[in-house]
Structure 1
Amino acid sequence: MLTAGKYWICVFRGMDAAAVKNVRVVKDVQAMSGDAGCCLQIHAVKSDGGFRPVEEKAYRIEFIGDSITSGEGAIGAKSETDWIPMWFSAVHNYCALTAEALNAEFRIISQSGWGAWKSWDNKPRANLPEYYEQVCGLLTGERNEALGAFEKNDFDSWQPDIVVVNLGTNDGSAISLREDDACREEDMAAFEQAVGSFLVKIRQYNKHTHIVWAYGMLGITMMPAIHRAMNAYIQRTGDRKATVFQLPRTTEATVGARNHPGRLAHERAAEELTVHLKELLRLG
Structure 2
Amino acid sequence: RKTDRRIEFIGNSITCGYGTEGSNRDERFKPETENNYKSYAAILARAFNAEAHFIAHSGKGVVRNYGDEKPVSDPKETMPGRYDRTLDNDPSQLWDFDQWKTDCVVINLGTNDFSTSPHPDRDSFLKAYKELISKVRSAHGDVPIFCVVGPMINEPCFSYVKELTQYYKNQLKDEHVYFAGLPDNLLNQEDDLGSDWHPSYRGQLKIAAQLLGPLATVMKWDFRTDEIYP
Match of 2:177 among 212, 218, 242: 242
Q: Does 1:139 pair with 2:89?
A: yes
The one-letter code sitting in structure 1 at the alignment partner of 2:178 is T
Q: Which has the higher contact order (CA 8 A, sep 6+)?
A: 2
Distance 1:230 1:151 in 2: 31
Question: How far 1:214 sits from its partner (Å)?
Answer: 1.1
What is the one-letter code of the residue matched to 2:14?
I
Gaps (5+ residues) in structure 2? 222-230
Q: Distance in 1 between matches of 2:25 and 2:176?
A: 41
How many Å apart are 1:86 and its aligned residue? 1.5
Alpha-carbon distance in 2 for matches of 1:205, 1:58:
18
Q: What is the distance in 2 between the residues matched to 1:213 and 1:157?
A: 24
- Answering whether residue 116 of structure 2 is matched by residue 170 of structure 1, we say no
Corresponding residue number in structure 1 for 2:78:
127
How far does residue 81 in structure 1 lie from its aligned partner after superposition? 3.6
RMSD: 1.9
**Aligned partner of 1:77 among 23, 37, 48:** 23
Shift of 1:79: 4.8
The alignment partner of 1:272 has SS state of: helix
What SS does the corresponding residue of 1:165 show, helix, strand or coil? Answer: strand
TM-score (norm 2): 0.85
Q: 2:206 aligns with which of 268, 273, 276?
A: 268
Q: Per-residue deviation at 1:80?
A: 4.4
Distance in 1, matches of 2:25 and 2:172, equals: 46
Q: Is the 8 A contact 1:116 1:127 kept in 2?
A: yes
Unaligned ranges ≥5, structure 1: 1-54, 141-148, 179-183
Q: Which has the higher strand share?
A: 2
Shift of 1:199: 1.3
Tell me if the contact between 1:66 and 1:113 (Cα under 8 Å) persists in the aligned partners.
yes
Give the Cα–Cα distance (whole angstroms) in 1 for the partners of residues 209 and 164 of structure 2.
Answer: 26
Residue 214 of structure 1, aligned match among 144, 148, 171: 148
Q: Is the 8 A contact 1:79 1:258 kept in 2?
A: yes
Question: What does 1:142-161 correspond to in 2, within 5 Å?
Answer: 150-161=92-103
* Counterpart check, 1:190 vs 2:115: no
Change (3 A) 1:79 1:169: closer
In structure 2, how many angstroms separate the alpha carbons of the residues matched to 1:207 and 1:79?
A: 40
> Which contiguous aligned blocks of 4+ residues in structure 1 show a shift greater than 6 angstroms?
none
User: How many residues matched?
Assistant: 212
User: Which deviations, in whole Å up to 9, do the C-alpha atoms of 1:190-239 show, x marking residues without a partner?
Assistant: 11111122112211211131100112111312100111122223334321
Looking at structure 1, the residues matched to 153 and 142 of structure 2 have their Cα atoms a distance apart, in angstroms, of 30
Deviations 1:132-169 (A, max 9, x none): 12212x224xxxxxxxx742222122111110000000
Q: Which has the larger radius of gyration?
A: 1
Q: Distance in 2 between matches of 1:244 and 1:91?
A: 25
| Identical residues among aligned pairs (%) | 27
Give the distance between the partners of 1:130 and 1:120, measured in 2 at CA: 15
Q: TM-score, normalised by structure 1?
A: 0.69
Task: Give the SS at the match of 1:243.
Answer: strand
